[in-house]
Amino acid sequence: MRTYYAYIRVSTVKQGELGSSLQEQKSAIEAYAARHNLAIGEWFEEMETAAKVGRRMFNRMLADLERGKAAGLIIHKIDRSARNLKDWARLGDLIDQGIDIHFAHEAIDLASRGGRLSADIQAVVAADYIRNHRQEVRKGIYGRLKQGLYPLPAPRGYLDRGKGKPKEIDPIAGPLVRQAFDLYASGTYTLHTLRKEMHQRGLRSRTGKPLALEALSVMLRNPFYCGLIRVNRTGQTFEGVHQPLVPKATFDRVQAVMSGRVFARSQKHVHLFRRMIRCEACGYSLIGETRKGHVYYRCHSQSCRGTTLREPDIDRAVRERLSELRFAYGEMELFGEEAKALRRDESRIRDEREAALKRDLGKCEDRLSRLTDAFIDGLLDKETFEVRKTTLYGERRSLRDALEAPARPDTFADRALEILGRGNMAESLYEMALTDEKREIVKSVTSDLRARQKSLQITMRPTFQAILDARNSANGAPCRVLPRIMGALKAQEESSAPIKLPEQTSPEPNGDARRG
């Protein structure tokens, strides 16, 4: 007596392990086989949806049936066999070839025209159910997205808090993800070096291993971390209601580094003035070399062979330049008195800036509203709408970041006094600092170091140059120095180049290779 195959299926592994559906299907098939005197030779069990083609066990079973390895097939219900019309068509081909197909739950005679029609109708209904279900699920997902909610598992650095609730920042992994963005945005890390650094800091995979490079790259490219939700399949962008981990400006900087618009460097040498001195003639960086225990900086261009500086000579010139920033005893007290008059307009300036940001935010909201109206009215195609919407979402996020940024507790006058104090201490700090700390001090105070043959020209940053200019002028009284410092400091902050002399610094990943 020839045997039959029996096929049972559930849509997910969870249903198979925790539910009773598989056992119920098996019992129904066994009872059906006993009633109709059919012998079951092999069971095929699968935990995979029938909405899509490509089920491994199902395809193997049909291939064996086509080769005549069994007399027929018993399935619990039609929707257990196929919820897509392509798989149903394959079953129909088997029926046409004389393979005996039975459904334990439906009393259908597939050998008759009416029975076949009834089965076809049920298969079409099952396929339509899947299409409708998929559409409803998609509708629900887009509903969540429009509410600013992320309908998928929380990305690394966030925690799930249940359906209908925004993701929350993971108190452990969240700060580490933020550090990863900040470090990569500095332009001094590659993905490989960042991966190693973050593993040491504690950002790891679920198995405790370093993050895969692909996982790290995906994380750094995900706008979810700056408050935006992007649907990769459609290219649509939605504004999230979750708390961003990084500002939009930091995220944009990371994208620039990843796309190669910002040069990322890795540390190779430890020379004090590596990549800090340029040849005045050709513009190339002087390269540090150690010869017989002495460090020299040379220009390697063919036309500039004589441009060479010894490190002790550079160090001495820098010390002399820093010494010019020292003030006489009692001058700092006079600066403090003058600063009181410069604080009066600080509150008004901050209020005006906040009002301007709110006006810009209102204009952005209005443009978004008008853009949506234009799309609804058919004045814009979907692609143009999505591009402009994404741009406006990014602009709105940046404006909100600016409004929500905590106000600085100090004023311009306070920071000017701090700069004067740091300048006053620059020489003594430099003398006590380690190599990397010295580099930071020099870069904080100077804007350019140029070599001409065997001489060095040092250009100070505008703020510190203002100190020198004011002191060297005929009317360089302390009360005239501070207003000049204020103007230079404002120019520095507006150009996103704040002056800072760090008390403690970490080694800078940098290279000594020459760039043109």
Residues 316 and 220 in one domain: no
Rounded distance between C-alpha atoms, residue 390 and residue 16, angstroms: 42
Q: Is 96 exposed, middle or buried (0-12, 13-18, 19+ CB in 10 A)?
A: exposed
Handedness of CA 160, 162, 163, 165 (dihedral sign): negative
Rounded distance between C-alpha atoms, residue 336 and residue 181, angstroms: 39
Q: Give every strand in the sheet of 308-310, ordered side by side.
A: 287-291, 294-298, 308-310
Q: Is 264 a member of any domain?
A: no
Whether 6 and 79 have beta carbons less than 8 Å apart is answered as no
Q: Is 228 a member of any domain?
A: yes
Phi/psi zone of residue 42: left (φ > 0), alpha (ψ -120 to 50 degrees), beta?
A: beta
pTM of this structure: 0.45
Residues 335 and 350 in one domain: no
Residues 48 and 118 in one domain: yes
DSSP 128-150: HHHHHHHHHHHHHHHHHHHTT--
Q: Is 499 a member of any domain?
A: no
Residues 174 and 322 in one domain: no
CATH code, 207: 3.90.1750.20
Q: Is 504 a member of any domain?
A: no
Strands, E, within 115-218: which ranges?
Answer: 158-159, 168-169
Q: Is 128 a member of any domain?
A: yes
The domain total for the chain is 4
Residue 295's closest CA among 325, 324, 271, 330? Answer: 271
Residues 239 and 286 in one domain: no
Residues 46 and 123 in one domain: yes
Residue at a domain's end among 362, 379, 404: 404
Taking CA atoms, 449 is separated from 296, 310, 329, in Å, by 15, 14, 30
Q: Is 146 a member of any domain?
A: no
Q: Which helix (H) or strand (E) holds 5?
A: strand 4-10
Place of tokens 């993701």: 167
**Full residue range of the structural domain in which residue 128 is found:** 4-134
Rounded distance between C-alpha atoms, residue 253 and residue 350, angstroms: 26
Q: Is 194 a member of any domain?
A: yes
Residues 420 and 395 in one domain: no
Residues 399 and 296 in one domain: no
Whether 170 and 158 have beta carbons less than 8 Å apart is answered as yes
Residue at a domain's end among 134, 169, 188: 134
Strand partners, 231: 236
Residues 123 and 66 in one domain: yes
Rounded distance between C-alpha atoms, residue 100 and residue 78, angstroms: 14
Neighbours of 341 (CB within 10 A): 12
Residues 362 and 478 in one domain: no
Give the DSSP letter of residue 210. Answer: B
Residues 473 and 399 in one domain: no
Place of tokens 């600063």: 339
Beta strand 100-103 pairing with 72-75: parallel
Give the pLDDT of the chain (516 residues) as one tens digit per residue: 678 999 988 877 666 555 457 888 889 899 999 988 999 999 998 887 766 666 788 888 889 998 888 989 998 887 766 667 777 888 888 888 888 888 888 777 777 777 778 777 877 777 777 677 777 777 777 788 888 898 889 999 999 988 889 999 999 999 999 999 999 988 888 899 899 999 998 999 888 899 999 999 999 999 999 999 998 878 888 989 999 999 998 999 999 888 876 555 544 556 888 888 999 888 888 888 888 888 999 888 877 777 889 999 999 999 999 998 887 767 777 777 777 777 777 777 778 888 899 999 999 999 999 998 898 888 889 889 888 989 998 899 888 888 887 666 567 777 777 778 888 888 888 888 878 788 888 998 899 999 988 889 999 988 888 778 777 764 555 556 666 666 666 666 565 444 444 443 333 433 333 333
Residues 95 and 198 in one domain: no
Q: Is 506 a member of any domain?
A: no
CATH code, 85: 3.40.50.1390
